Every structure is written in C-alpha cells, then in structure tokens.
Amino acid sequence: MSSLRWHPVLFTSLVVVMGLCLPAMATVEDLEQLPPAVDNCLVCHVEGMSGLNPFGEDFLANSRIWDATLDDLDSDGDGCVNGVELGDANGDGENDSGVGDLSNPGVAGDCEPATVDRRTWGDLKALFDSK
Ligand SMILES: [Ca+2]
Ligand SMILES: [Ca+2]
Ligand SMILES: [Ca+2]
C-alpha cells in the first residue's frame, strides 16, 4: 500500500507543473472571450508574461467576461475606455464597423482621446449602422 502514497517531492512537482500550465491554458480561453480583433496576449499581460497589466486585472476582477461593465472602464487611465481601445465601443463582443488601429487597454499613452468622446462616436455610428 505504501507504493500508492504520494511522495512529497512528486506531489510538490505536480502542483508546480499545474501552476505553470493552467494559466497558459486559461490565457487562450480568455483571449476567446475578448472582441475578435484581439489577438495578442499583451492585451492582458505585461511584457515577459510575468503578470497582468491593469486591463488584465480588471478582466480577472470581472470574472474573465467581456461585457458592458468592462467595456466602459478605462483600465489604464489614458482617457480611452477599454471598448474603444479594443474596437468594440458598444461592448457587444463584436468588432465595430470601420475600426482602425487598436490600442492596448492595459498600456497608457497609446490612445489619443478625441475631442468628441470616442465612445459617443461609436454609439452614434451604431445608430446609423442599424438604420
Ligand atoms: Ca484606456
Ligand atoms: Ca461592437
Ligand atoms: Ca491604452
């Protein structure tokens, strides 16, 4: 029976391996939760993948769900809400029409807030697109 008991070193190694693998698997699944234009792990992670950036922290705090709540936040504080930075200003999970260059919602300074609030502009465009 003693051969079936977990050896402490084996158990610790298994826990460490699981700890390294699970976040990587979760990253792929999490990426699929975000608007389709998002194809970069650095949207949520810092360079070197050693941690989460402010958007990644907010995504985690929002139960890893992209919705209107996360869309409306400005995680990095650069004046552009997350939805505008990721090309989904109305937060429906689909790319908005006419989306240009995306910026990173976890990195400040890569998005220039327009004179007209870009979220308002997205809402106006959505109204015209629905006609
Ligand atoms: Ca921002
Ligand atoms: Ca959209
Ligand atoms: Ca940004």
Contact in structure between 74 and 82 (CB atoms under 8 Å): yes
CA of residue 52 to ligand 2 center, whole Å: 24
* Distance from residue 110's CA to the centre of ligand 2 (Å): 21
pLDDT of residue 121: 67
- Which DSSP category does 67 fall into? S
For residue 118, the ligand closest to its alpha carbon is: 1
Q: What is the pTM of this model?
A: 0.70
Q: Cα(42)–Cα(16) distance, rounded to whole angstroms?
A: 24
Residue 93 has a pLDDT of 92
**Domain extent listing, the chain:** 2-129
Q: Cα of 43 to ligand 1 centre, how many Å? A: 11
Q: Is residue 41 pLDDT above 50, yes or no?
A: yes
Give the pLDDT confidence of 44-90 residue by residue, as tens digits.
999 998 999 999 999 999 999 999 999 999 999 999 999 999 999 88
Would you place residue 18 in the very low, low, confident or very high pLDDT band (cuts 50, 70, 90)?
very low
